[in-house]
Amino acid sequence: MNTQENNDFETNGAREKRPNRGAALLRLARAGAVVTLAAIVQFLELAGRAALRATAIVLRAIGKFSITTWRLASALDSALWRAAKLLARRLAEALLHALALLGQVFKSLILWLPTRTGRAYSALCGVAIVVCGLWIADLLREGDGVIGASVNANRPPLDEEDPILARIGGRFVHLSEIAAAASAGGMLASDEELSSELAFERGLVESYVEQRLLARAAQEDGLHRTPSVLRRVNTARDRILAASLVKSHVDEEVTPETVERYYREQRKIMQVGDEVRARHILVETEEAAGEIVAQLTAGGDFAQLARENSQDRATAPLGGEIGWFSRGIMARNFANVAFRTPVGDVAPPFRTEYGWHIIEVTGRRPTSAKPLAEVESEIEEFLRNEIIARLLSELADENQVVYYRPESDLSEPDGSPAIAPLILPTDLREGDQGIREQADG
C-alpha cells in the first residue's frame, strides 16, 4: 500500500517539474530578447549620435571653407578691380601722350613736306606704294578663286551656266576657259559648241591644265620678266587685240543685209561681158619681160617660167594662174590686154603700176548672174577684205606711219617706183592673213 502511494507521489512530482522547466526557459528567452533589444537600441543611439556629430563636423567645415573662400574672393576682386582701374588709367595716359606726340609729328610733317627733301621723300614713298599695290594686285589675281581646303576635290560646286571641269590649286577651271583656249589654238571650229564630255574626249581639259601648270611654273621662275618672253607676250597680246578689233568691225558691217545689198548693186555688172581665164608673169623691167617672151617663143613652159621669174607672190607658186575674172575686177589696162588676146595666145609685154606683165589667155566664157546663195561666201570674203584694208588705211593715216625701207628697194635705177606684187581684189594680202583667220575664229 505504501509502496503504491510512493510511486504515485513520484509520478505526480515529475509531472509538476516539467511545466516549471518550460516556464524557466521561456523566461530566459524573454530576458535574452530584452537584453538584445536593449543592446540594439543602445547601438543605434550611439550610431545616431556619432552620425550627427560627424554631420555637424562636415557642415561646420563646409561653412568655414565657404566663408574663407568668399573672403578670399572678395579680397581678390577688390585687388583686381584696383589693378584694372590702375591699368586703364595708365593706358589712357599713354594714349593721350601718344596722340600728343602724333600731333607734334603731324605738325612737323606738314611743315617739312613743302621742302625739297620732303618732296623727294614723298615721291619715293609714292613709288613704293604703287609698286606694293601692283604686287598685291598680281598676287590677288593669281589667287583668284581660292577655296578652303575642306572642299571635296571630287565634287566641284555646281555651276549650270558654266560647268567646272578641273581645279588647279585653289582655282576652278570652267568650260568657257577650255572653249576659248581650244578656239584660239584652232582645235575648235567657230560654229562648234563644246560640251563637257567632248572636252574630255578630245583631251582639251588636260591640255589646258598642263599649259596652265607650265605657265605658272614659268612665272614662278621669273621667265615672264625676261625681254624675249615679254616681246613674245606683247606680240601675242597685240595679235589678239587686233583680231578682236577686226572681228568687231566685220561682225558689225558684214551682215546678211549688206551682202544682199552688195549683190543687188553688182548684179548688173556681173551680167555684162565675158570672163577670161589667164595666167601671167610679173617682172621688174622690159628687158626681163622680153627675155621671157623669147623663151616662150622657143617652146618654154609658161608655168615653170612663172615659178622661176614672177614677182607676184600670190600667183607664182601656182604657175602664174590667176583664174577666171571679169573686166571690172582687174586694172583697166590689164583687163584690156587680157580681153583682146585670143585664147591660147601670149600677149606682148605691157606695163602697169606693178611692173611688166606677160599674159597668156587660157579660156573665155560668157558670164551670167549667179544666185545669191552661190556667191554669198565670196561676197562676204570680199567685204571682209575691204573692211580690213579700209581699217588699216585709216589707222595708218591717223598714226602717221612711215616705212624706212633699204635704199636698194626705194626706187628703180630709172627712178620708177618699186614694183609690188599683183594683188587681186578677191585675195587677202599676206600680212592680213593671220588677222583674217583670227577674225573668222
Q: What is the pLDDT of residue 4?
A: 52
Amino acid at 168: I
CATH class of the region 273-366:
alpha beta
Residue 128 has pLDDT above 70, yes or no: yes
Q: What is the pLDDT of residue 18?
A: 52
Residue 254 has pLDDT above 80, yes or no: yes
pLDDT confidence of 154, banded at 50, 70, 90? low
Q: In this predicted model, what pLDDT tens digit does every residue of 205-224 receive, in sequence order?
A: 898 888 888 888 888 888 88
Q: Which three cell numbers stand for residue 61?
A: 567645415
Rounded to an integer, the average pLDDT of 103-130 is: 77
Q: Higher confidence at residue 304 or residue 16?
A: 304
Average pLDDT value over all residues in the chain: 78
Range 116-144 burial, b when 16+ CB lie within 10 A, else e: eeeeeeeeeeeeeeeeeeeeeeeeeeeee
Dihedral sign (CA 282, 287, 289, 291) = negative
Radius of gyration of the chain (CA): 56
Q: In this predicted model, what pLDDT tens digit does every residue of 357-412 receive, in sequence order?
A: 999 999 998 776 677 787 788 888 888 888 888 888 888 888 888 878 777 544 44
Residue 113 has pLDDT above 60, yes or no: yes
Q: What is the pLDDT of residue 12?
A: 54
160: three-class secondary structure by DSSP: coil
Domain boundaries, the chain: 164-225, 249-271+370-441, 273-366
Q: What is the pLDDT of residue 369?
A: 66
Phi, psi (rounded to 5 degrees) for 420: -105, 155
Rounded CA-CA distance 2/8 in Å is 10
Q: What is the pLDDT of residue 349?
A: 93
Residue 8 has pLDDT above 70, yes or no: no
pLDDT confidence of 168, banded at 50, 70, 90? confident
Range scoring the smallest mean pLDDT among 79-88, 95-104, 126-135, 365-374 = 365-374
Q: Which three cell numbers stand for residue 254?
A: 558684214
Residue with cell 567685204: 383
> DSSP secondary-structure letter at 418?
P
Dihedral sign (CA 266, 268, 271, 276) = negative
Helix (H) or strand (E) run with residue 167 in it:
strand 164-168
